[in-house]
Structure 1
Amino acid sequence: MGEKTLEEISKAMRDIDITMLSTYAANGAIASRPMSNNRDVDYEGDSYFFTWENAHMVGEIENNQNVSLSYQGHKHFLIAAEGKAQVIRDKHAFKEHWNADLDKWFENGIDTPGVVMIRVDATRLHYWDGMDEGEIVLS
């Protein structure tokens, strides 16, 4: 079993832009979609994503906060994170995680009507790095 630290995992995650965010749909099925972490990774277990208020995943998260994130990096490095998600509508919180790359999706920045932020608080990370694998449990 591997012994990577959370700091080592965080460093590797900075190079992975896209994650698959999985939620539970109303019919119980698992629904996944690609999301960008916008290189906002100073990872202690929280991930932040921006989307539209009317996206299916927003309602799914409000009905069931249990989500998973899947990351694939270079040279067979993978991360699976489990956690709880919440939908944030506070523009002050948006400012902390906003960057200029988001302006192409949300033309008025944090003032774009209908924009929300999803925060995922990871409770467990499992990683694979070639033949090395390990797990980190977060509170």
Structure 2
Amino acid sequence: MSEKKLADLSKQMAAIDIAMLSTHTKSGEIAGRPMSNNGEVDYDGTSYYFTYEDANTVGEIEADPKVSLAFMGQKGFSVAVEGKAKLSRDKAEMKEHWSKDLDKWFKDGIDTPDIVMIQVDATRVHYWDGEDGGEIKL
């Protein structure tokens, strides 16, 4: 078992287009949904995603900010992230994390009505790379 650093994982995660974001529902179930992973950003333990105010995701994070992210890559590479989510409606913050790829979902960019940014700060990162695996605590 090798000890990968977060920077090593970041390079591999850049090739993954979609992450699964899981939250807890009001009745205690786990709800997952695909979110676009911005491969242009170096992963440093914090991820940013965008959604709409009326999405179940927003209410679920407000009720319980503990979330998980799952990334599935090529050749047995995968990452599971445990973390805490927070919501931002601040346009200046959104602009810092916006990429043009998001325009296909949000036609007016950060000026799209009712847009919300989800920030996930990792507390633990588990990875598997073929037969190699490990954990990074943040």
Which residue does the alignment assign to 1:70?
70
Shift of 1:39: 2.1
Which residue does the alignment assign to 2:49?
49
Distance 2:51 2:119 in 1: 11
Q: Considering only aligned residues, what root-mean-square deviation do their CA atoms show, in Å?
A: 0.9
Code of the aligned partner of 1:3 = E
- 1:88 is aligned to 2:88: yes
Number of residue equivalences: 138
TM-score normalised according to structure 1 size: 0.96
Shift of 1:118: 0.3
Cα pair 2:14 2:38 within 8 Å, conserved: no
- 1:132 is aligned to 2:132: yes
Code of the aligned partner of 2:15 = D
- Pairing of 1:96-135 with structure 2 (within 5 A): 96-135=96-135
Cα pair 1:40 1:97 within 8 Å, conserved: no
Distance 1:7 1:105 in 2: 29
Which residue does the alignment assign to 2:22?
22
- Structure 2 spans left out of the alignment, 5+ residues: none
Distance 1:82 1:2 in 2: 21
Distance 1:79 1:99 in 2: 23
- Structure 1 spans left out of the alignment, 5+ residues: none
Shift of 1:103: 1.1
Shift of 1:40: 4.5
Distance 1:132 1:122 in 2: 21
Aligned structure 1 segments of 4 or more residues deviating by more than 6 angstroms: none
Shift of 1:77: 0.1
Code of the aligned partner of 1:97 = H
Distance 1:41 1:23 in 2: 23
